[in-house]
Amino acid sequence: MPASARTLLDRLPAARTLGRKERRRALRILDVERLEPGAVLYHQADPPEQMALLLSGRLLASTLASDDTSIPLGRIRAGEVIGEMGLLDGAPRSATVTCEYSTVLLVLHRHRFHELEASADPILAWLLNIAAKGMALRIGAMSQRIAQAAVEPDVLHALPRPSVQQPQTLWTWLEALWGQR
Amino acid sequence: MSLEPGPVLHELLGPLAPPMLQLLEKQVTVRRYPPGFAVFHEGMAPRDLVLLTQGRIRLNKLRPDKRQETIANVHPVSMLGLAAAVGGIPHPATAMALEPSECLLIPAHLLEPGQDPIRRGLAIKLSKACLRGMNAQLRAANARLFSLVGDRELVEALSLDLGTWSLPLHP
């Protein structure tokens, strides 16, 4: 039997900053959505209608190149927030997001986002805080890679390329590349 | 001539209710830097979000081969030190004033929501401003990595792991 959203939220390290009552309230305010592999959460170029926190599972963001091939751009894992930039800026979705493994999400719809913002709701403050911290850590990681690439670009080229069809290859490649992971 | 913090903060954060502006103005420090002075050093623990309101600042990073590399020249009105202050990680670069510069220092602890609704509203506004600023930084970082590596597939593979997927490089 799949774990309940409540159990998944309680297990999430990012939820520890919320008290128990606030976690229960989050489950009342936010909608629980479950996706099966292959299901699409966002379509590229669609208007942004929601943001979400992953409680479990994994999503893949990809985009179409000019020759209509799909280019994988990134994976979103449990504890990460997705879709917040669309709600902040109102820009169409920059990528298509597809479910890779069975996924449970807490979804905040646009109209509710504005209500929560107007009342300075703790749940919204918490979600944006998670999103901001996640982005900050990515910038830190990116900065390290840029520093390395500035000195040793050939090291990057010498490694076997990852493939979205072979995620294990990706991990092996990345582990070889960034030994500190 | 110094800028008044109020209008700059309004520009950055959008309309601010008077109690929120008062809270912010109490916490914000205005600091001036002569040319050659550092706003923060690489590796230093962050304390503030830095908003450049006047002057020009250069961001330098120490490369593994010990050479200093300029990674950006920053002009008003821009935020600096975002990733470090938000993520609680050491500053990834040194910020040096190139000409007489003025910054507003916004304590990073204001990003934490807290119990008070005014404080929480401010945290929401600051988080939104930081997300916008960092999103732009990620795009710039991805383009920079591409310029260094010169291989679109490789950079996209790196982005795939880093989750920097708001940064498509393809046409």
Mean pLDDT within B141-165 = 62
To 5 degrees, how large is the angle CA A45–CA A46–CA A50? 130
pLDDT (0 to 100) of residue B153? 64
The structure tokens 């994976």 sit at A75
To 5 degrees, how large is the angle CA B136–CA B142–CA B147? 125
pLDDT (0 to 100) of residue A49? 95
Q: What percent of chain B has pLDDT over 70?
A: 81
Burial letters for B67-76: b for 16+ Cβ neighbours within 10 Å, e otherwise? eeeebbebeb
A54 interface with B at CB cutoff 8 Å: no
**pLDDT for residue B118 is more than 80:** yes
Q: Is residue A14 part of a domain?
A: no
Residue A155, preceding bond cis, omega within 30 degrees? no
Residue A31, exposed/middle/buried by CB under 10 A (0-12, 13-18, 19+)?
A: middle
Searching chain A, which residue's CA lies closest to the CA of residue B160? A74
| Lowest-pLDDT choice from A69-73, A116-120, B24-28, B55-59 | A69-73
**pLDDT for residue A181 is more than 50:** no
**pLDDT for residue B161 is more than 70:** no
Residue A150: domain span: 32-156
pLDDT interval class at A162 (50, 70, 90): very low
**pLDDT for residue A169 is more than 60:** no
B14 interface with A at CB cutoff 8 Å: no
Q: Is residue A53 part of a domain?
A: yes
* Spatial CB neighbours of B31, under 8 Å, sequence gap ≥ 6: B39, B102, B103, B105
A with B: how many residue pairs have Cβ under 8 Å apart?
A: 174
- Structurally, chain A folds into a number of domains equal to 1
Helix B5-13 vs helix B117-149: crossing angle, to nearest 10: 70
Of B92, B127, B148, the CB nearest to A132: B127
The predicted model scores a pTM of 0.83
Of B108, B91, B113, B100, nearest to B56 (Cα)?
B100
Q: Which parts of A2-121 fold into alpha helices (H)?
A: 5-11, 20-29, 84-89, 110-118
- Which one is the CATH code of B7-108+115-162: 2.60.120.10, 3.20.20.140, 3.40.50.410, 1.10.10.10? 2.60.120.10
* Spatial CB neighbours of B51, under 8 Å, sequence gap ≥ 6: B8, B12, B77, B78, B79, B80, B103, B104, B105, B106
Interval A82-133: pLDDT, tens: 999 889 988 888 889 999 999 999 999 999 999 999 999 999 999 999 999 8
Searching chain A, which residue's CA lies closest to the CA of residue B67? A151
- Using a CB-CB distance cutoff of 8 angstroms, which residues of chain B are in contact with residue A124? 124
Contact A135 B134 (CB under 8 A): yes
User: Could you tell me the CATH number of the domain that includes residue A75?
Assistant: 2.60.120.10
**pLDDT for residue B7 is more than 70:** yes
pLDDT interval class at B2 (50, 70, 90): low
Interval B37-95: pLDDT, tens: 999 999 999 999 999 999 999 998 887 778 888 888 899 988 998 989 998 888 988 99
pLDDT (0 to 100) of residue B35? 97
| Lowest-pLDDT choice from A6-15, A52-61, A151-160, B53-62 | A151-160
Q: Complex ipTM, two decimals?
A: 0.83
Contact A129 B148 (CB under 8 A): no
* Spatial CB neighbours of A166, under 8 Å, sequence gap ≥ 6: none
Contact A157 B112 (CB under 8 A): no
Q: What percent of chain B has pLDDT over 90?
A: 43
Best B16, B65, B127 residue to mutate vs chain A (most A CBs within 10 Å): B127
Q: Is residue A48 part of a domain?
A: yes
Mean pLDDT within B126-131 = 94
Report how far residue A179's alpha carbon sits from residue B127's, in angstroms, rounded to the nearest whole number.
32
B109 interface with A at CB cutoff 8 Å: no
A99 interface with B at CB cutoff 8 Å: no
Of B154, B69, B89, nearest to A138 (Cα)?
B89
The domain ranges of chain B are 7-108+115-162
Average predicted confidence (pLDDT) for chain B: 83
Of B84, B111, B145, the CB nearest to A146: B145
Q: Is residue A67 part of a domain?
A: yes
**pLDDT for residue A175 is more than 70:** no
Residue A100, exposed/middle/buried by CB under 10 A (0-12, 13-18, 19+)?
A: middle
Q: How far is A5 from chain B (nearest CA, A)?
A: 24
pLDDT interval class at B122 (50, 70, 90): very high
Best A76, A124, A126, A138 residue to mutate vs chain B (most B CBs within 10 Å): A138
pLDDT (0 to 100) of residue B63? 76
**Residues B137 and A141: beta-carbon distance below 8 Å:** no
Range 136-155 of A in CB contact (< 8 A) with B: 136-153
pLDDT interval class at A177 (50, 70, 90): very low
pLDDT (0 to 100) of residue B140? 76
Contact B135 A148 (CB under 8 A): no
Searching chain B, which residue's CA lies closest to the CA of residue A136? B83
Contact A132 B130 (CB under 8 A): yes
- Using a CB-CB distance cutoff of 8 angstroms, which residues of chain A are in contact with residue B118? 120
